[in-house]
Amino acid sequence: MVKERIVRRILGILMTLMALQACSQASSSVDKVFQLHAQNDLAYSDIGTDFVLINYWASWCKPCVKEIPELNELDNHPQLSVFAYNFDRLSGDKLQSEADKFNLQLPMLLNDPASMFGEETPGALPATLVLNPKAGTKQWLMGAQTQQSVLRAIGVE
């Protein structure tokens, strides 16, 4: 009788643990989705490059504007996908107008990506969040970037 109770309790605990494990795996597999301006949403898991760069910019930030041509060029690198996020949270025609004004050719995110990756929105600009989806790593590059500085920071030349 005592053994039977112990076995039932152990089985109950094991079944509870298995259910919790299944719930945990299901919630961790929920994909992060980038909401893009003038494009379809993009699942983070569908980005096939080794590195994802997310640049925080604003039109009033002179170093941000200065680095736009470098970021446009970086987006052509086969190992990188580069996105822009407007720090002022512009959207629609206002966002498009700013992008056109500065020849920003990158896909533009509408949702602040920092929170999706457990990060705080940067307090200073320009800032670039570098993600390595395969390794699960992330790092911030602060200040204006060049192609060379980004490639050096991620170990790709």
Q: Where are the domains of the chain?
A: 1-30, 33-154
CA angle 133, 117, 129 (to 5 degrees): 70
Structure tokens, 112? 């602040």
- Checking if the pLDDT of 9 tops 80, the result is no
Predicted pLDDT at 98 = 97
Predicted pLDDT at 157 = 73
Q: Which one is predicted more confidently, 30 or 111?
A: 111
Candidates 124, 146, 154; CA nearest to 69 is: 146
Structure tokens, 13? 């605990």
Q: Are 129 and 113 in contact (CB under 8 A)?
A: yes
pLDDT by residue (tens digit) across 35-78? 999 999 999 999 999 999 999 999 999 999 999 999 999 999 99
- Checking if the pLDDT of 23 tops 60, the result is no
Structure tokens, 55? 């640049």
Instruction: Give every strand in the sheet of 108-109, ordered side by side.
Output: 108-109, 80-86, 51-57, 127-132, 137-142
User: Looking at domain 33-154, which CATH architecture does it have?
Assistant: 3-Layer(aba) Sandwich (3.40)
Q: What pTM was computed for the model?
A: 0.80
DSSP 8-state assignment for residue 41: -
Predicted pLDDT at 3 = 72
Q: Which one is predicted more confidently, 26 or 77?
A: 77
In this structure, the strands spanning 51-57 and 80-86 are parallel
Predicted pLDDT at 68 = 98
